[in-house]
Every structure is written in C-alpha cells, then in structure tokens.
Structure 1
Amino acid sequence: MIFVPSEYHLTPDEEHAYYDLHENSMEDEGYHRFLSRCAAPLLDALSPASDGLDFGCGPAPLLAKILAGDGHRVELYDRYYIPTTDALKKSYDFIVATEVIEHLAAPGEELACLWQRLRRGGMLALMTKLVISTDRFASWHYIRDPTHICFFSVQTFHWLAQQLGAELQFADSDVIFLRKSGIYPE
C-alpha cells in the first residue's frame, strides 16, 4: 500500500470543489457501463432483496439505482453530498464503495467501520485501480488526481482479507469483493 503524506492532502473544501468538477450523472451511459463492472458480478452474488449501503455514492447515486432496480434496498452515504450518518449505524448484507477507498485518509479505520456494519455472510464490494508495480507507479495516471491519497495492490487485499478473516475475490482487475464469514467475530 502506498500513501500520500498528509501535508499534500487537499483540505475538505478543496476536495469537495474538485469532486464538483466530476460530470457523472444518472443518465450517463458511460458511467452506467463503468459501474456495471461492479454491479453485474455483485448482483450475481447477492441473495434476493438484500439490504445494502452505497458508501461514497457522490451526487449521482447511479449504482444504488442499478442495485435497487434488481430488488435490493440501498441506503446512501457520501461525506459531501449525502452525509446521512444514520446510514453508518445500520447493518447490511452488502456495502459498495466504487472509486472511494483511494480517497480515504485513514483507510484501515474506515474499512474496519464498514466491516463492522456488514452482517455475517455480507459482501464488501470495492472498486479501485490497483498498483501493478512500484516501477510503473511514478508514471501512472491514477496518481495525478490530487484527491487520490492511498493506493492498493493485490497484495494489500490478500493481507486485508487475512486480517478480516474474509473470502477474497477479484471480480475484475479493479473490482474486489470481500465476503464476511460466519466464523470470525464482527
């Protein structure tokens, strides 16, 4: 895992202003295709009518709409756009965080909080570009986004799965599923 030192992090206001520049919308077909790379395998893995949380959904919660369209109930949370902290107090069958974890200043703490919100057998579905090698890191386009402050690798997720006692699945090159077993304490 690679971290950007905190002195280079944007302020919350700067970060919010940067996110406001994104042009994702509920009607954007490209955005729909992008999110479907996480939604399609997740829908295959979920039980019918599951309860979920779209963590970091942004101002256009299209992924929640896709999942709800398949009969799932999806709560929304976004630090800047939908800061409903009640959603962070409930338990869920699944939690999705697409293009979110690379923005977290304390990813270990935040992922642990999300993990606690998952019911046994629940799925944490993450989507983030992965570091392939340290040699290629310096020229990687993904590090140019000033809101990206931590970077994960395949090894990071194997370690995390072991720490959590989770079943790990790479549904795509940047789509990671961690399933909570019934063996380990919550």
Structure 2
Amino acid sequence: MTDAEASSCPLCGSTLHAHFHSDRRRDYRRCQTCHLVFVPPPYHLTAAREKAEYDLHHNDPHDPGYRAFLGRLCEPLTACLTSNSRGLDFGCGPGPALALMLRQAGHDVSVYDPFYAADERVFADRYHFITATEVVEHLARPGAELERLWRCLLPGGWLGVMTKLVRDREAFANWHYKNDPTHIGFYSRQTFTWLARQWQTDMRFIGDDVMLVQKPH
C-alpha cells in the first residue's frame, strides 16, 4: 500500500477525513466526502489473524434462525428477479447459506470468498444479481471491490448489501458492531446514497441493514 492510499479514504479516495472515535484498541476516521467511517491500515489484522477470526464462525446453512436473518436480504432481492437468474454470492464464508437459499428459489448462484472459495474466475462473468451479506465492513479496499462487483453486473442487475449502519458519534461509541476486530469499514445511509450517485442510480433501503441498488439499463 502506498503512502497516498494509507492516508486516503478506502472507499472514495478522498484525503479529507477527520478523527471520529478512539477506543483502547484502535482509531476511527470519518471521510468528509462519502461519510465512510474507517479504521486506518496500521490497525488492520494480518490475513492469518483475520482468517482465524472467521474460522470461529459456524453458520449452519440449514439453521432456521440464520436463514431468517439472511431472509431480510434474500426475500426483497428475489422479488426483484426473474426466474432462473444468474448471481454471485460475494464473501460467502465457509458455509454459503445465502447461495443455498437463492438456489432453492430457482436461481443459478456462483460463490466467492478470499479465504474459503477464492476462484477469481467468477469475476470474468456477468450476473443478474450479486449479494454481499455482512461483507463490506471487512473490506480494506471497498472502493475497488465494489467497483469490481458493479462491473460484473449486467444492465438492470441488482446488488444487494447487508451491513449495520452508523447513526451518529454517540451511538458509535457504544456500538458492539465496531468491536469485531475484522470490521474496518462502517457505512451510513449517507455513504450508500453517495455510492448510488456515483453509479447514477438510486439506493433502496430496506429495514435497518439491507440495501438494494439496480444497475441502470
């Protein structure tokens, strides 16, 4: 990573950011352009330590509670899709439950995860939909990764994201979500609205933590 990359917002590249919060483990900055709250690179885990954290997760694709959690994105997304759509579950983890649910709904789903399903050939294809559930908060370079996903969408395709949203500084200080050491980027409605403007489309907010955006035809 260059000095310029280390001192710029990882989503929009702006160097206009300011201190937002500190705790005993790390500092948090907020971009004044896209409003992303991010953890500076010196506080990021190594890849080995990051994977060790993920290996502690045991999400059963058949667990009803976990399926209900993922259903908050799956149900509104599938309502937007035609039958037999082709999709990609980005950041599927060791147990790709959402991919299974979407296949059960009649869609063809590929998976990608840098630790558990790292086949880069999936990015040579184009899709009717792409999902990223509880993923974007882990990305060290979200700007580059989200642009790559956007390029992989067919015109009229849908990107579905699930992540908890920043409300304000006071709520952030007591927010459990920031305490996960693998969480290094925190988004707000302002952030996703900014992103939609860059893509010349509109962001659809569903509940407190689900966003859907359609690529223009």
Q: Aligning the two structures, in what range does the TM-score lie when normalised by the shorter sequence?
A: over 0.9
Deviations 1:121-171 (A, max 9, x none): 000000000001122111100000000000000000111000011221012
Contact 2:90–2:113 under 8 Å retained in 1: yes
1:33 aligns with 2:68: yes
Q: The residue matched to 1:131 in structure 2 has which SS?
A: coil
Aligned to 2:164: 129
- In the alignment, residue 67 of structure 2 is paired with which amino acid? H
Q: 1:24 aligns with which of 59, 62, 82?
A: 59
Contact 1:94–1:124 under 8 Å retained in 2: yes
Aligned to 2:98: 63
TM superposition shift of 1:26 = 1.7
Aligned to 2:194: 159
TM superposition shift of 1:30 = 1.4
- Count of aligned pairs: 182
Question: In 2, Cα distance between the equivalents of 1:169 and 1:34?
Answer: 19
Question: In 1, Cα distance between the equivalents of 2:188 and 2:155?
Answer: 26
Point out which structure has higher relative CO (alpha carbons under 8 A, 6+ apart).
1
- In the alignment, residue 138 of structure 1 is paired with which amino acid? A
TM superposition shift of 1:48 = 1.0
- In the alignment, residue 208 of structure 2 is paired with which amino acid? S
Give TM-score scaled by structure 1 length. Answer: 0.96
- In the alignment, residue 124 of structure 2 is paired with which amino acid? K
Aligned to 1:103: 138
Question: In 2, Cα distance between the equivalents of 1:8 and 1:117?
Answer: 31
Deviations 1:41-77 (A, max 9, x none): 1111111110000000001111011111111000010
- In the alignment, residue 7 of structure 1 is paired with which amino acid? P
Q: RMSD value over aligned CA atoms? A: 0.7
Question: In 2, Cα distance between the equivalents of 1:167 and 1:70?
Answer: 26
Question: In 1, Cα distance between the equivalents of 2:98 and 2:171?
Answer: 31
Question: In 2, Cα distance between the equivalents of 1:13 and 1:124?
Answer: 29
TM superposition shift of 1:27 = 2.2
- In the alignment, residue 97 of structure 1 is paired with which amino acid? A
Question: In 1, Cα distance between the equivalents of 2:80 and 2:63?
Answer: 25
Question: Between Structure 1 and Structure 2, whose CA radius of gyration is higher?
Answer: 2
Contact 1:167–1:181 under 8 Å retained in 2: no
1:173 aligns with 2:213: no
Comparing both structures, which one devotes a greater share of its residues to helix?
1
Structure 2 residues not aligned, in runs of 5+: 1-35
Give TM-score scaled by structure 2 length. Answer: 0.82
Q: 1:145 aligns with which of 167, 171, 180?
A: 180
Contact 1:167–1:180 under 8 Å retained in 2: no
Contact 1:56–1:97 under 8 Å retained in 2: yes
